[in-house]
Amino acid sequence: MARPPNIIAPALLCKTRSDVEKKLKLIAPYVQRAQLDVMDNIFVPNKTVQPKDLRGLKTKVKIEAQLMVKDPAAHISDCCRMNAWMIIFHYESYKNKRRISSFIKQIRAHNRKVGIAINPTTPAAKIKPFLTLVDLVLVMTVKPGFGGQPLIPATLKKVKQIRRWNKTIDIEVDGGITARTAPLALNAGANVLVAGNAIFKAKTIREGIAALKARFK
């Protein structure tokens, strides 16, 4: 069984709808996917634009909504109205096998892809029971909440574990991904790289994305 293809997903850590729309226009010529960071200032100490503010969002870029929130279920309908292709929730939001399984079914009922995320301090074994129920696992390689943090190397051990358990699932890494750290993540078994500053603070968007894609070789 072949490992899934490598993908770049720019991180959209935005406070307003206009900022989301601006960044989507910048990246649209170069990528097919992007990750929207949704924060509620409860689950993490920061707040971003909310799905309810993005209803009817139009873009050819596939949006995966990462719900870094206390109650992910409250955002499902709005994620659908903003045309999110995938909904990613954090294991730490529920920590209960029955509630997590039920939530995954809720997302599936809306015909959306499903991802489950774990924070740097959460063991990979916590999400092992759900690997056959989701489309993607997101291993946070920094503490969620703010961009610009350096990658925590120990988190890549979890990527290796998950890849050993499942050869075909998408494994995404988010936090501190640069042209320097991308090979570390890819070699560990990740195939979806989320990057913010490495793209949006590059000399040009095109060059930032190209520098990351060059690491696929």
Residues catalogued as catalytic: 37, 174
Taking the C-alpha atoms of residue 214 and residue 49, their distance in angstroms, rounded to an integer, is 31
> Helices in the chain by DSSP H: which ranges?
17-27, 76-81, 91-94, 97-109, 156-165, 182-188, 197-200, 205-213
Categorise residue 158: left if φ over 0, alpha if ψ from -120 to 50, beta otherwise: alpha
Distance separating alpha carbons of residues 12 and 23, to the nearest angstrom: 7
Main-chain phi, psi angles of 152, to 5 degrees: -90, 110
CA dist 208 and 101 (Å) reads 38
> What amino acid is encoded at 153 in this protein?
P
Strands (E), the chain: 7-12, 33-39, 62-68, 86-90, 113-118, 136-140, 170-174, 192-195
Give residue 42's region: left, alpha or beta (phi > 0; psi -120 to 50): alpha
